């Protein structure tokens, strides 16, 4: 078993299926950049949180997944062996999660020591001085 963290873009729409036991699961394919090319990662998720996160995404959406990885190979139409990976996703992180966490932090009540900035301190902004594109808004 290999514990892995991969990131890439969804290739196709995630699909919800039902196992023989009646338990739902979700499958998806992710195209991840690997070296000089891309590799497809076949993803399956069983946990409710991971399934819901995958189903909220559409083709082309960026995603990061953590879980158990199994390397495989497949043969294309020309007879060339191609790498593939199977991932049982235990955790899914998307840009939606980042935005939701950021908004939750902005809404949370401030402790007394957090509300008083030193006289020379600048208030927090959502971009740094090197960012030419402006604030990060998802």
Q: Please report which confidence band the pLDDT of residue 14 belongs to, taking 50, 70 and 90 as the band edges.
A: very high
Q: Which of 72, 57, 71 is nearest to 15 (CA)?
A: 57
Q: Mean pLDDT for the chain?
A: 81
Q: Please report which confidence band the pLDDT of residue 109 belongs to, taking 50, 70 and 90 as the band edges.
A: low
Instruction: Using the predicted structure, report yes or no on whether residue 24 has a pLDDT greater than 90.
Output: yes
CB 112 within 8 A of CB 118: no
pLDDT of res. 45: 96
pLDDT of res. 108: 66
Give the domains, in start order, of the chain with CATH numbers.
2-94 (2.40.50.140)
DSSP assignment of 15-29 equals EEEE-TTS-EEEEEE
Beta-ladder partners of 48:
none
pLDDT digits (tens, 9 = 90+) for 41-80: 999 999 999 999 999 898 999 999 999 999 988 898 999 9
More reliable by pLDDT, 112 or 34: 34
| Dihedral over Cα of 39, 42, 45, 50: its sign | positive
Rg of the chain on CA atoms, in Å: 20
Average pLDDT, stretch 107-128? 58
pLDDT of res. 31: 94
Q: Using a pLDDT cut of 70, give the percent of the chain over it.
A: 69
Q: Please report which confidence band the pLDDT of residue 26 belongs to, taking 50, 70 and 90 as the band edges.
A: very high
């Amino acid at each position: 078993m290999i514990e892995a963290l991969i990131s890439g873009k969804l290739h196709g729409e995630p699909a919800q299926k039902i196992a023989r036991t009646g338990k739902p699961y979700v499958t998806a394919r992710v195209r991840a950049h690997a070296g000089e090319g891309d590799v497809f990662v076949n993803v399956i998720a069983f946990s409710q949180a991971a399934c819901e996160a995958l189903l909220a995404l559409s083709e082309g959406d960026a995603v990061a997944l953590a879980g158990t990885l199994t390397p495989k190979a497949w043969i294309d139409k020309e007879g060339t062996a191609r790498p593939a990976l199977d991932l049982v996703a235990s955790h899914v992180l998307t840009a939606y999660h980042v935005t939701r966490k950021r908004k939750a932090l902005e809404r949370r009540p401030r402790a007394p020591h957090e509300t008083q900035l030193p006289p020379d301190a600048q208030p927090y902004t959502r971009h740094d001085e090197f960012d030419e594109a402006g604030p990060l808004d998802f």
